[in-house]
Chain A
Amino acid sequence: QLHLQESGPGRVKPSETLSLTCSVSGGSINIMNYYWVWIRQSPGKGLEWIASVYYSGSAYYNSSLKSRVTISIDTSKNQFSLNLMSMTAADTAIYYCAREWGEGTGWFLDTWGHGLLITVSS
C-alpha cells in the first residue's frame, strides 16, 4: 500500500525559505501516469493546490505562488520536494503531499500524506 510522509521544519521565520520533502514508500515514484503534488490548507480554511511534478521533472505551478515556488523530484530517493521562498504569516498552513492519477479530463488525488503544520513566526 502506498504511503506518503511529509517532513520539514515545522516552524520558519518570516522571509525565510520553506523546504519540505515527501517520502514515498510502498511504490515507486519513477512511474508514468502519476503526478506528485503539494497542497496546503490554512487554519480553518479550504484546500489550495501549490504545484505538481511528473517523474520526468516537468512541473505545474499555481500561478498565484509560481514566483516563490519550486517543486522537484528525486527518483533515486523516491521522494519529491517543495521550496517556498519569502515566507509570511499568510503561508502558515498544513502542507500535504499527494499522488495524482488519471487521464484525459479526469484526474484525482488518490493518496495523501498525513500533513505537516508549518508555522511562520519570528
Chain B
Amino acid sequence: SSELTQGPAVSVALGQTVRITCQGDSLRTYFASWYQQKPGQAPVLVMYSRNSRPSGIPDRFSGATSGNTASLTITGAQAEDEGDYYCNYRDSFGNHVFGSGTMVAVL
C-alpha cells in the first residue's frame, strides 16, 4: 500500500519528550520527510532523509526509521512546537503521498 498512517493527536507536557509515528509499506523503500504546520500558516519542513534538519530547525527535533515506520521525536517540547505534523514521501514515479497529520498539543 502507498498510504501513510498517522495517529490523529498527541499531547506532551512542556519540556517532555513526544514521538510521532508514520507507518506505511513504502517507507521501507523511500525516506520520509516531516512538516510542521501552525494554524493559518504554510507547512514548514522540519526533517528529511531520515534524520536531517533544515537550517533553523532546533536540534530538539530528531527523526528515525525502522522497517515501515518513520518517527519524529521532539525532546524537550516547547510551546511553539504545537501544531499539526505531516509525514510525506515521494516515490520513483514522482508521486507524493502525505499522511493524514498528527496534532501535537503542548500542555
Contact = CB atoms under 8 A, between A and B. Distances in A.
B101 A62 contact: no
Nearest to A48: B98
Q: On chain A, which size bracket covers the interface?
A: 20 to 34
Contacts, number: 68
A35 B94 CA distance: 10
Interface residues of B, number: 28
Contacts of A115: 42
B98 A47 contact: yes
A43 to B, nearest CB: 12
Contacts of A91: none
Interface of B: 29-31, 33, 35, 41-45, 48-50, 54, 86, 88-90, 92-101
Interface of A: 35, 37, 39, 46-49, 52, 60, 62-63, 96, 100, 102, 105-110, 112-115
